[in-house]
Chains A and B, each alone.
Chain A
Amino acid sequence: MSSAARDRIMSNIRAAAGDNVEVPATACLPIATYGPQEKIDRLKSLMEAVKTEVHVVSKKDWPTAVKSVLRRRKLKTLLYAPETALGPELEMAWQNDSEGLPELIIYEGDIESFKETLFQTDAAITTTVGAIAETGVVVLWPDSTEPRTMSLVPSVHIAVVDSATIYNSFCEIIQRQSWPEKMPTNAILISGPSKTADIEMTLAFGVHGPKELIVLILK
């Protein structure tokens, strides 16, 4: 049934489409290019404007920064991915001193078996594949080591960005990282905690996605 519908729709469209129309070779309009510090500043200020908590820290200090962020909150569990670059460093930092910190937990099995725990988990920390200065977003490509729901279900999401992977624009990251050749199952751009203005156009934060987004920019 479906393919008969397909045939009819396709034949209607073929009859209707008509002449090919030319457009410019690229859809990427030139935009401002930011210097390395400008990229960090712009990313930070745009994300803060939508209530993201942003910290610029040195590469070696990041576990300390994470701890200090977490100690300011009463969180029971922190979901992390041991097979990422973050994993071993987090584990070591917790081994040294985990006073007042949430327990590190991992994504056990698939979502079907882990769901209940997942929905009770307070926070998750993930890597990113980059960020975009023009619009103020971090970019995630979840995969088998860092499942999608890590950055979605827990109320707090901590995202770690290498400042060297901050791109000028969305177009630029698409081109420079060759996205068309290798789109992942899921790619996400995230600018801040979830929000809505559906009630009397009044902005309120913390709806269905994480209530808090914390971004660590590693310099």
Chain B
Amino acid sequence: MLEPTAFNFKKNISKALGDRQLRANLKSAMDGLKTKRLNVFADDDELQQLRILCNAIKKRALSRLPQLLEQLEEKCVQNGIQVHWAETTDAACRIVLDIMKQHGASRLLKGKSMVSEEMHLNQYLQKIGIEAIETDLGEFIIQLDGEPPSHIIVPAVHKNKDQIAKTFHEKIPGAPYTEVVEELNSIARKNLRQKFFEGQIGLSGVNFAVAETGTLCLVENEGNGRMCTTVPSVHVAVMGIEKVVERMEEVPPLLRLLTGSATGQLITTYVNMITSPRKPGEKDGPKEVHLVLLDNGRSKILADAELRQTLYCIRCGTCLNHCPVYTRLGGHAYGFVYPGPIGEILTPQIEGLDVAGELATASTLCNACEEVCPVMIPIPRLIRRMRTESYAKDSSATVKGHGYKTNFLESTVWKLWAKMNTSPWLNSLNSKMLGLLGGLLPKAGPLKAWTSVRSKPKFAAKSLHQRVKERGVNRE
């Protein structure tokens, strides 16, 4: 499904662009999310203040990451939460599996977690015959269809009600065919309620982990997250190491920007803050809580002062919502867990430029994402960095797989371009040639690509340089 060897970006793009329904669904969904966001942040001054503040909070948290992770671990352990460290996604999967084996569990109840997608946890467990059950409605739907999520926040955004109705009817025993949204929800509620009742082990992600108190903060609307983290006797939380914040009072502004940017909500239905397993005397809640801290390349990203900003991301998905390219392609085309603008900078750093570097080409650098990113990640700048490192073979480049794209043709083209643009007579010669013969250029290379969409450019007989010279414009 998401294996790197199967990643054919060009093919995915063609497929996505040809899918009228996908495009219509995405356009309508993204437009709706953009409007909701504008409505909930009606006071632009307040919004900008919040962005500056949250950027500062993340910047400092990352500059103190070692201390904060140590403090988080210390507090969690003090409170009875068991902390595990995983360098790779494989190690993280093994940790989850070990916990399940310890409890003889054959089923895992999952709340929505992008890190668990990054871990390919479901597939890992499935190979050993363990069932991972998605409980978030969007994830539940795509799991029935065997698809990965196509958006960070609304994983089934590419699907229509009739597709979902068909899936439910065919794959959920006893489910009637209905396209009424409330009825579809009821089917899911009934089906999953039994699973919540039976559930032994629940898994969740973490939106923010507070070092000061050892608290895991989770946001959601459906209640499935609370079900997974409250009813089963064991709760496992998986988290990227960059999600730690220093103080409890830093949660409110981050929360405000997260819910407002992700779904245009002032606040989600639930904000769930977990600090310990069930204490003596308490009647419910998991008896065991585990926190799995995942690195998977984040410590390397941290090491670069510029690229570190990638780790500010709070996974709100609003960059996707505002991206004209994502809106036309949808998440599946990007081939990896994180699509859209954030995916273009995060994925190559995790997977390697040689594997995922193509993603960074799919942007016009329009800056729509940067304009709305709640933590002010300079995404276009980092995309450009990915592009630069794609061609840089030397040690000035740091991203895994850099220089994979180095080729004689492109290097030569740009060298010639630079020569021409630093040599006035060459430049002048070029414009004369184009003015005379430009119309005769064969439709090859870039011109072929250009003319697949647009008519051939008509080069002026006389360049501006020449016109100005002839007219006589003032000297200095």
A and B touch in the complex (CB under 8 A): yes
Give the B-binding residues of A (Cβ under 8 A): 2-3, 5-6, 8-10, 12-24, 26-29, 46, 50, 107, 109-112, 114-115, 119, 135-137, 143-144, 147-149, 152-153, 169-171, 174-175, 179-180, 183-202, 204, 206-210
Give the A-binding residues of B (Cβ under 8 A): 25, 28-29, 32-33, 46, 49-50, 53, 56-57, 59-60, 62-66, 69-70, 84-87, 91, 95, 135-138, 141, 154-157, 159-161, 164, 181-182, 184-186, 188-189, 192-193, 196-197, 212-215, 221-224, 226-227, 230-231, 233, 241, 247-253, 255-256, 263, 266-279, 281-285, 293, 295, 299-300, 302-303, 305
Contact across chains for B295 and A188 when beta carbons are under 8 A apart: no
Complex: chain A residue closest to B245, CB-CB: A27
Contacts of B282 on A, CB cut-off 8 Å? Answer: 143-144, 147, 185
Known contacts A28-B252, A198-B154, A207-B224, A16 near B303 by CB under 8 Å: yes
Contacts of B155 on A, CB cut-off 8 Å? Answer: 198
**What's the Cα separation between A98 and B25 when bound, in Å?**
51
26 cross-chain CB contacts under 8 A: A9-B241, A12-B299, A13-B65, A16-B300, A27-B253, A28-B249, A135-B267, A148-B230, A153-B231, A174-B249, A175-B249, A185-B282, A189-B270, A197-B221, A198-B136, A198-B154, A198-B155, A199-B164, A199-B185, A200-B25, A201-B28, A207-B189, A207-B222, A207-B223, A208-B192, A208-B227
Least distance between B99 CB and chain A CB atoms (Å)? 12
In-complex Cβ contact of A136 among B164, B181, B266, B293 (8 A): B266
Complex: chain A residue closest to B154, CB-CB: A198
**What's the Cα separation between A175 and B249 when bound, in Å?**
8
In-complex Cβ contact of B281 among A5, A137, A144, A190 (8 A): A144
Contact across chains for A27 and B270 when beta carbons are under 8 A apart: no
Contact across chains for A22 and B60 when beta carbons are under 8 A apart: yes
Contact across chains for A180 and B247 when beta carbons are under 8 A apart: yes
Contacts of B277 on A, CB cut-off 8 Å? Answer: 185
Contacts of B181 on A, CB cut-off 8 Å? Answer: 199-200, 202, 204
Contact across chains for B300 and A12 when beta carbons are under 8 A apart: yes
**What's the Cα separation between A106 and B161 when bound, in Å?**
41
Contacts of A27 on B, CB cut-off 8 Å? Answer: 53, 57, 247, 249-250, 252-253
Known contacts A152-B223, A185-B279, A201 near B274 by CB under 8 Å: no
Least distance between A39 CB and chain B CB atoms (Å)? 16
**What's the Cα separation between A199 and B135 when bound, in Å?**
14
Least distance between A19 CB and chain B CB atoms (Å)? 6
Contact across chains for A210 and B223 when beta carbons are under 8 A apart: yes
Complex: chain A residue closest to B225, CB-CB: A208
In-complex Cβ contact of B85 among A5, A14, A171, A192 (8 A): A5
Contact across chains for B184 and A199 when beta carbons are under 8 A apart: yes
Least distance between B70 CB and chain A CB atoms (Å)? 8
**What's the Cα separation between A22 and B57 when bound, in Å?**
9
Q: In this complex, which of A3, A10, A174 has the most chain B Cβ atoms within 10 angstroms of its Cβ?
A: A10
Known contacts A111-B284, A144-B281, A209-B223, A171 near B271 by CB under 8 Å: no
Complex: chain B residue closest to A8, CB-CB: B87
Contact across chains for A21 and B91 when beta carbons are under 8 A apart: no
Contact across chains for B276 and A179 when beta carbons are under 8 A apart: no
Contacts of A12 on B, CB cut-off 8 Å? Answer: 295, 299-300, 302-303
